[in-house]
A and B are shown apart, each in its own frame.
Chain A
Amino acid sequence: MSTPYAKLPAWADYGLIPVINLAVAFIVAGFVVMLVGENPFRAAVILVEGAFGKGTGIAFTLFYATTFIFTGLSVAVAAHCSLFNIGTEGQAYIGGLGIALVCLSFDSVLPWWVIFPIAIVAAAAFGALWGLIPAYLQAKRGSHIVITTIMFNFIAASVMVYLLVGPLKPAGSQAPQTRNFLAGAELPKLNWIIELFGAKIRSAPLNICFLLALVMAFLVWLLIWRTRLGYEMRTYGHSPKAARYAGISETRIIITAMMISGALAGMMALNPVMGDQHNVAIDFVSGAGYVGIAVALMGRLHPVGIVLAAILFGMLYQGGAELAFEMPAISRDMIVIIQGLVILFAGALEHMFRPYIQALFASVSPKSVGMQAVKGTGA
């Protein structure tokens, strides 16, 4: 998308503006805390302490962050191709179905290190498939990807509810979930890494999916900025017309981008399903797909930014749980508000402070904003 705004130095663009937007989002959230009758500063202290104060807290924070890295990357890959994938939620849900099929079939015969790669492939394949249909419809039939992916989230939810209260539910059970996986489908924990630093951990679900998430972040960086395909995706994202002129197939690029996006979304399911709950339950994604939008926007669609933003949201989730415990007037839904405010200020209103910052830069050092080149086209 073209921005009618002049350039800023890179550090201001990628560092200063997101930080200012984030700060505003948190100030507004602070007002909500005040409205509820609590002290926002004390809330902030409890939140940060809950997330990073103890070893267990850190492990939980990183566990949540793992989930958000996957969904954030998923949204970002599609966004580089100027596709808004709201369907991350549904793709992750269906990815869980792939994992369930693998784990339920093999967990009694194979060890985890054989099941894990198969499950990765299955999760990615199911997620990619759920992304493929909207992509195909966008590329070939011109239906808007945002609307189709929203519809597919609801269709995914219906399909999963149908399967989890019917065929996948073990006989005689009341809970709408699959049977618990055996030891073969449980992923090893990573808590010992934090314990190396001397912290104590009671029990936390941090598992090797965290490493997988970091690897995927690196691979996404490689894909977007170091491969031909990534270049084509970015070209299409900037200008579909230019891409067409350069001989890039629209259909191929849309479908590939959405399948990669869907695959990353599907892999998100590995973390809660195989790393923590050891079953697939109704609504196990619980909004992580939508958090991915906030994470991708905050991270400015760059894997490094996404990992940092995911840790921030992991902190909010873990600290938010502590907050709900300490302050009875505040429940975990406070995070939902903060999430919304972050999406609003870092996403929709990302240009709100830009003109002011630009004016500031221009008055301090005209060169840094390239004044000569853009004279007269200021925002």
Chain B
Amino acid sequence: MNIRTHLAVTCSALILCSCEEKQESVLNTEPPTLHVYMWADYVKPELVKQFEHENHCRVVIDTFDSNEAMFAKLKAGATGFDVALPSSYMVKVMKEQEMISQINRSMIPNLVQITSDVANRVHDKMMTHSVPYAVSHTVIAYRKDRLEKVDPTWSALLREDVKGRTTLLNDMRETLGSALKSLGHSINSRDEQHLQQARDVVIQWKKNSAKFDNEGYKTGIDSGEFSLVMGYSGDLFQVVEENDKVGIMVPKEGVTMSCDEFVILREGQNPFLAHQFINFLLDPKIAAENMQWMGYLCPNKGALELVARTFLDHPAIRLPDELKEKVEVIEDLGPDLAKFTKVWDEVKAAR
């Protein structure tokens, strides 16, 4: 009995000691930390390491899978993030809510690299509160080994041979937006009739699909679990790079475009590092390396000259010219968002 008592005391003492040690290291010896809140697989890990090394800091990245989830988390009291990466329409909301602070332009000399075609399409054209980072489209990926001849159209989602093997984005604006596009309407339509038509289209898609999914489709199309998925262009590009059985198709009716932008959060602890981080990723050489890893186009003049031509010509990276006219950016709809929510609920309830 005595030996066991002794053992127990030693064990608990050890546990307590290790606690204290951990605490100390958290409080004193830590280098400054930059907290970044972004989408998964959205920056090349080696580049983050390089930044840490150059700036003697630590970068902690947390991920979200939709703008709304990110917003909800920040609203619920997740303070302490320095940099976030919302899509353009969400930047507007966050600005109105006074959640983000003004960009100190003098600390980001690489701002001149941002291409005007993108800057002109986002909400914050003057880049006072946000800096465009990457452009993404909602497109379709499919298994080349399983499907013959996939026409570039949204109605591919209704093909008989993919029944139960497709996924739709669990993102109200993207999925309803794509349906609106397939009908020839604007993705920012506030017309209730348009929305009802779009709802019926999505319900048809839903009946042919396995589930709504925002991240898992990557694994699914890669492993062959799904035959055809709707997803973000860069994510799908990453899959195509590793798996030659997967192809990407851009529907000819047009697609949504969203531009994810860096914002600096008002409640962040480290605005200096936040500016440094943004400037670092806008450096042409870094941006070129980064975009080829993640598969999203960075609107960066210098970088676009550095990347391989073949990369840029991939339809998932830069849309074919004839589609450029048909691309629209998702905008904030203010109170009219409720119309979308209502229709989306009906989609979810339909069986």
A and B bound? no
Interface residues of A (CB under 8 A from B): none
